[in-house]
Amino acid sequence: MRQLTLAATLALCTLAFAADNPPADGKWIDLFDGKTLDGWKVIGCQAEVQDGAIFLKAGNGVVRTEKKYADYTVEWECKALKDDNWDSGVYFRCIDPAGSYPWPRKYQVNMRKGMEGNCDELKGAKSTGLAKDHEWNRFKLTVVGAKAELEINGKPAWKADGVTEREGFISIQAEVPGGGQYLYRNIRLMELKSR
């Protein structure tokens, strides 16, 4: 009886772990090669490659993947170049901007000063104090089904539920006139198996 209880406990622990850590195919894909904007589309802004990073040079718009993704983990590093009041963001499972609005309507991991990592469209997706001013910061976003979670510089930032879009582009927000120039590098993605 004791062995059966132990086996049942281990099975439950395994199921709980699997629920929080969906299986991955184990292959990272470099979304940005550090040399060109191959695989990306520039909409409404100016962007170029500078010293191995995507340099958001001018305008209000996005630099987005050519491919849509559903369930995945995506990592990136970014750095604000403006002295103060910087602003940018990374949209996930988004569609292209529509009408006169230069950015997608949702879902955005904010890179605005003091709001780095926040996703206003998801309840509880708030973070404070994990990003470093005027330095490279590493972000790791995992999106599976309706759930999303974020790490900043290797530390948990938030977990949230309520993502309604099943797939979409990954778009980097250029908000240069108001938020200044930004650099993005080491952008990679691992697709996760659907459950």
Chain segment 77-117, per-residue pLDDT in tens: 999 999 999 999 999 999 999 989 999 999 999 999 999 99
Domain boundaries, the chain: 24-191
Residue 18 has pLDDT above 80, yes or no: no
User: Mean of the pLDDT values across residues 31-47?
Assistant: 98
Q: What are the DSSP calls for 68-129, one per residue?
A: -BSSEEEEEEEEE-SSSS---EEEEEE----TT--S-SS-EEE-STT-TT--TTSTT----S
Separation of alpha carbons 181 and 174, rounded Å: 8
Question: Cβ distance 170 to 92 under 8 Å?
Answer: yes
**Does residue 10 register a pLDDT over 90?**
no
Q: What whole-number distance in Å separates Cα of residue 131 and Cα of residue 111?
A: 9
How much is the pLDDT for 26?
72
In tens, the pLDDT along 50-81 reads 999 999 999 999 999 999 999 999 999 999 99
Query: What pLDDT does residue 23 have?
Result: 45
Residue 144 CB-density burial (10 A; 0-12 exposed, 13-18 middle, 19+ buried): buried
* More confidently predicted of 135 and 11: 135
Contact 29, 190 (CB under 8 A): yes
Instruction: Say how many C-beta atoms besides its own lie within 10 A of residue 76's C-beta.
Output: 22
Q: Which residues contact 88 (CB under 8 A, 6 or more apart)?
A: 56, 78, 80, 111, 112, 172, 173, 174, 175, 179, 182
Q: What is the pLDDT of residues 137-182, one digit of tens each?
A: 999 999 999 999 999 999 999 999 999 999 999 999 999 999 999 9
Q: Report how far residue 152's alpha carbon sits from residue 158's, in angstroms, rounded to the nearest whole number.
A: 9
**Under 8 Å between Cβ of 116 and 79:** no
Distance in angstroms (rounded) separating the CA atoms of residues 106 and 95: 8
pLDDT for 57 equals 98
DSSP 11: H
Q: From CA 156, how far away is CA 165, in angstroms rounded?
A: 23
- Residue listed under structure tokens 């972000």: 139
Q: Is the pLDDT of residue 24 over 70?
A: no
The chain-wide mean pLDDT, for the chain, equals 90
Tell me the average pLDDT across 33-49: 98
pLDDT higher than 50, residue 44: yes
Q: What is the pLDDT of residue 92?
A: 98
Q: Quick one: pLDDT at residue 193?
A: 81
CATH of domain 24-191: 2.60.120.560
Q: What pLDDT, on the 0 to 100 scale, is given for residue 180?
A: 98
d(C-alpha 70, C-alpha 92), whole Å: 9
Nearest to 102 by CA among 156, 53, 64: 64
